[in-house]
Structure formats: C-alpha cells, structure tokens
Amino acid sequence: MPSLPPSPHARARAFELIQRYGWNATAFQTLEAGYTYFFHGDDGCVAYVDTGHAWVAAGAPIAPMSAIASTATAFLGAARAAHKRCCMFATEHRFQELSSPGWHALAIGEQPVWDPRDWPDTLSRHKSLREQLRRARAKGVHVRLLEPSELEAGPTRRALLDLASRWFATRSMAAMSFLVHLELTQPESRRCFVAEQDGVLVGFAGVIPVPARAGWFIEDLLRDPVAPNGTTELMVDAVMRWAAAQSCEWLTLGLAPLAGEVGGALKLTRKLTKRLYDFDGLRGFKAKLRPRTWSPIYLSHPAEQTSLTSMFDALAAFAPGGLVRFGLRSFFRGPPLVLATLAALLVPWTVVLALSSATHWFATAYIKWAWVAFDVVLFIGLTRGLARPTPRLLTALAVAITADAFVTIGEALLWNVRNASGWFEYVVLFIACAMPSLAAAVLWGARRRSQRLAAAAPHLESPNHSA
C-alpha cells in the first residue's frame, strides 16, 4: 500500500498501532510533527521523513514480531517505486534478527537502559550521585510532575518555551528536526517534570511511553544554563521514582550517538567534531547515572546501498532545509570552534600584513601599521570572547569587524584595485575584503546567542545560583 500523507486519520491509525506494538524507544516520537506513515496490511506501520532523495524511518517497523520483516520489505519496495533510497535510523538487535538478510546494520551508538525499581539501590551505592542531588536540593530546587493542561497554554508553557530558548542558545549547532526537536503534543500520553527554584522554572524532563515494553523514554532533558549543579540529576531521580511507583521495569535516556563499538570512520568523526558536539560528554553523563545495561543502536539499510550513503541520508533527515543550509546556519551562529578558527587565521594574516610592502599595498606606512595594530587588538578581543563571551564584548567585536569590512572594501576600491597587477594580487584583495565580512556575520550571530543566554541574567543575581 502506498504511503499516506500525515493526515489526522493516518496519525490516529499510527497511534493505535503504537499503543499495541510500540517497542522502539522512538515509536511515540513518530506522532510528532513532520512524519509520513507507510502502512502494510492491518498491523504494519513505518513512520518516516522524506528528505527529497530518501525515506528515513524513525526506528524499526511498528508491527507485531511476525510482520516486522514483511513490513520492512514492503517499505523498501514502496521507496524504490517512488525512486527513493531508504534506511531505518535507531534500530536494535531485534530488527536485525527478524528482518531479511537484505538489510545491513551500521552501529551508530548505544542506548542506556535502567530498571527504575533498582534506582534506590543505585543511589545507595554511589555517593557522587547522592551528592549531586543534595547540592540541588540545598539550593532550593524541587521537581514536580506537570498536569497535562499546563502544557496546552498558560504561564508554565511559556516558561518552558523560554527555557528551551535559553538552553538552545548554549548549543553550537542550529536547530535540528527528526528525532531531536522539542515537542509538547499528546499531553495526555506523555509525562512532563519540571525543576523549579524560588518559583522559577530551571529544568524540564519530557517522558514518553514505550508501550510494548511497558517502559518510558526520557525524550527531553533541558537545564537552564544558570541552574544549580545537580538539577538534571534531580529530575532524573524524580522520573525514576515515579516510574518505579508505576512498576515500570524498563526506562531509557535514548541514544548516546557514536558511543560504544562504532566503526573507525565514526570514531574519527567523534574526535574531529568534539568542539561542535560533545559525544563523549553526553555518553559520560548517561554513564554517571549507572544504567543497568547498554544496548547497541544501528542504522539499518538495504544491502545494495552503502553505509556512507545511508548515513548521509540519515543526517539529512536531522537537518531541516538540507545539510548545506544547516551547516551555514550552524556556522553563522558563531560557535566556539568557528571563533577559535577566526582567531587562529588572524595570526598568519597579521604576520603577512606586517611583512608586506607599505608602498604597494597601502597609501602610507602609517595606514599599514594601523591595520597591524587593529588586528592585534582584534585577536586579543577574540581570545577573550572565547573565554568569556559576554554580549557587551561580542557587540564591540561585531561592530569593530563590521567597520573593518567597510573600510577594507573602500580602501580596496579607492587604492588597491588600480594598483593591482596579476591574478594573485586580485585573489589577495578578494580574501582581504571577504574575510572581515564573513567574520562580521559570525560575530553578530554569536552576539545573538549571547543575548539569549543573557535572558537568564536575573537568576544570576540571586544568591541561590552562586556556585
């Protein structure tokens, strides 16, 4: 049967199947915005996003065990008929065992799993966890379970959205979609916990059901940038105790990407992208909570399709508007890695500037040394901006580099263009004009992020948030 658009009827049918066969941790997430549903027979469903070139499914098929293989095969056939590639992101061992040999699996990380009933014993055996909880409680943080109505409208929902905005401002990358964006739909089925301090919301834990496992998945775990240490652990503690009271035996915090036994290329990716996304830090945080076990998570794809192509398709699902646009949006947010690169490039540029001919490239020697002095001051400012990115400092840097861009372009047009000879000198002029403009755009993006973080400034003035 061909895929259906994400109509209310299709979503209602998917919801019914998830209630019966939702074994994947990602199953309930597929009720959120952006998914299309492929149905096979009476009991098979695959929730996916169309990237333009591929259908990327969120987890394995939602179906009884006897129909998982046939649903996957039918989904693959429908994708081919639509002239699309396909893959399934975040599958587990069960899918590998039940699917046909035509599906290959690439390990992409691990998923920690707890039995919430063991949580009190875990706390009793690990002093460091108890200390984190103590520190948060000592600062006046308490956690409560929200009523579903509080998610629909009113001050609590607004406070949640404000918290999400401040939390997002701390991220180096642009907003992603697919399985990682914040969603507050289906409030009657999800459970939401908030951490509050002196009446101010400082943390949020969103928990969704995994019906076929009689378990729960902590889908969202947000902490205000100025929340006391231990706030996140205190929210996890509240969720664990609530789940144990429900006689829940299975709970996860979801995928720790690139953790565990992944391939060499993914290990290299984990190392090279550390400044953009701290994969080791995320895995370390989840490990600190002492899970009972770690389950491998895979990217499953047809055997005739390479792992590299499938990974590209999966990444495209997370990048709204395409990977190029996502990369540009992330770049112009002014993440620390980009600012550090700009500062590093400024060093050889300043040296070249100091060694260049004053009579050829500048109207006077005074102008040359003025530019050298400016770049030295700029380097110092960028270095300080990396260590302490305050809105005031980033504003000053952005204004200075913007002025630099205009002056450089003006100087090039009035002096350098008429004196330049040969393609090499024109390339140098292009770089000299383009780099300040590019750097200015990055600095303004970094300034916008710092202003969002500054929205938490009133909390910083409270003595409860010291340390």
> What digits encode the pLDDT tens for the residues 420-454?
888 898 998 999 999 999 999 999 998 888 887 77
Q: 235's torsion region: left (phi>0), alpha (psi -120 to 50) or beta?
A: alpha
d(Cα 97, Cα 100) in Å, to the nearest integer? Answer: 8
Task: Tell me what pLDDT residue 464 has.
Answer: 32
Contact 90, 306 (CB under 8 A): no
pLDDT-derived band at 461, boundaries 50, 70, 90: very low
CA distance 313 to 322: 10
| In the block, residue with structure tokens 């290959």 | 104
- Look up residue 228 and give its two tokens: 């006391």
Chain centroid offset of residue 151 CA: 23
63: tokens are 């179906």
Q: Is the pLDDT of residue 458 over 60?
A: no
Distance of CA 326 to the CA centre of its chain: 12
Over residues 393-414, the mean pLDDT reads 92
Structural contact between residues 458 and 175, judged by C-beta atoms closer than 8 angstroms: no
Is the pLDDT at 52 greater than 70? The verdict is yes
Provide the pLDDT for residue 228. Answer: 94
**pLDDT at residue number 56:** 97
The pLDDT of residue 408 is: 92
| pLDDT greater at residue 338 or residue 236 | 236
Helix residue ranges, H only, 289-422: 307-318, 323-331, 336-355, 358-361, 365-387, 391-411, 417-419
Beta bridge partners of 44: 40
When the pLDDT of each residue in the chain is averaged and rounded to a whole number, the result is 89
Could you give the CA distance from residue 225 to residue 166 in angstroms, rounded to a whole number? Answer: 7
Of the pLDDT bands very low, low, confident and very high (cuts 50, 70, 90), residue 455 is: low
Cα separation of the two ends of the chain: 58
> What confidence category does residue 269 fall into, taking pLDDT thresholds of 50, 70 and 90?
confident
pLDDT-wise least confident of 266-275, 280-289, 416-425: 266-275
The DSSP bridge partners found for residue 38 are 46
Query: What integer pLDDT is reported at residue 466 of this predicted model?
Result: 30
Q: Where is average pLDDT lowest: 323-337, 339-353, 435-449?
A: 323-337
289: three-class secondary structure by DSSP: coil
Greater pLDDT, 120 or 428: 120
pLDDT bin (cut points 50, 70, 90) of residue 327 is confident
**Longest CA–CA separation in the chain, Å:** 82
Do residues 109 and 335 make contact, with C-beta atoms less than 8 angstroms apart?
Answer: no
pLDDT for residue 336: 84
Find the range with the poorest average confidence among 19-28, 91-100, 401-410, 418-427: 418-427
CATH of domain 1-111+260-273+293-323: 3.40.630
Q: What are phi and psi of 15, to 5 degrees?
A: -60, -40
Range in 36-45, 344-353, 411-420, 428-437 the model is least confident about = 411-420
CA distance 183 to 348: 46
pLDDT band for 5, please (50, 70, 90 cuts).
low
The residues spanned by each domain of the chain are 1-111+260-273+293-323, 116-253, 336-457
**pTM of the full predicted structure?**
0.85
pLDDT of residue 6: 63
What are the structure tokens assigned to 236, written together?
Answer: 């996890």
Q: E strand or H helix at 271, and its extent?
A: helix 264-272
Is the pLDDT at 459 greater than 50, yes or no?
A: no
* pLDDT over 90 at 197, yes or no: yes
Other C-beta atoms lying within 10 Å of the C-beta of residue 427: 11
Alpha helices per DSSP H over 42-199? 68-81, 93-98, 119-125, 127-138, 155-169
Give the Cα-Cα-Cα angle 54, 56, 61 (nearest 5 degrees).
Answer: 130
**What SS3 class is residue 150?**
helix
The token pair that represents 413 in the structure block: 């047009």
State how far the Cα of 390 lies from the Cα of 243, in Å rounded to an integer.
41
Confidence class for position 389, pLDDT limits 50, 70, 90: confident
CB of 224 within 8 A of CB of 166? yes
Q: What are phi and psi of 105, to 5 degrees?
A: -130, 135
> Are 109 and 298 a contacting pair, CB within 8 Å?
no
In this chain, the answer to whether the domains covering 1-111+260-273+293-323 and 116-253 adopt an identical fold is yes
Q: What is the DSSP letter of 412?
A: I
- List for the chain the helix, strand, coil content (%; round to 5): 55, 20, 25
Q: Which pLDDT belongs to residue 1? A: 43
CA 338 to CA 441: how far, in whole Å?
A: 12
- The arithmetic mean of pLDDT across residues 339-357, rounded, is 91
Burial class (CB in 10 A: 0-12, 13-18, 19+), 445: buried
Class of CATH domain 116-253: alpha beta
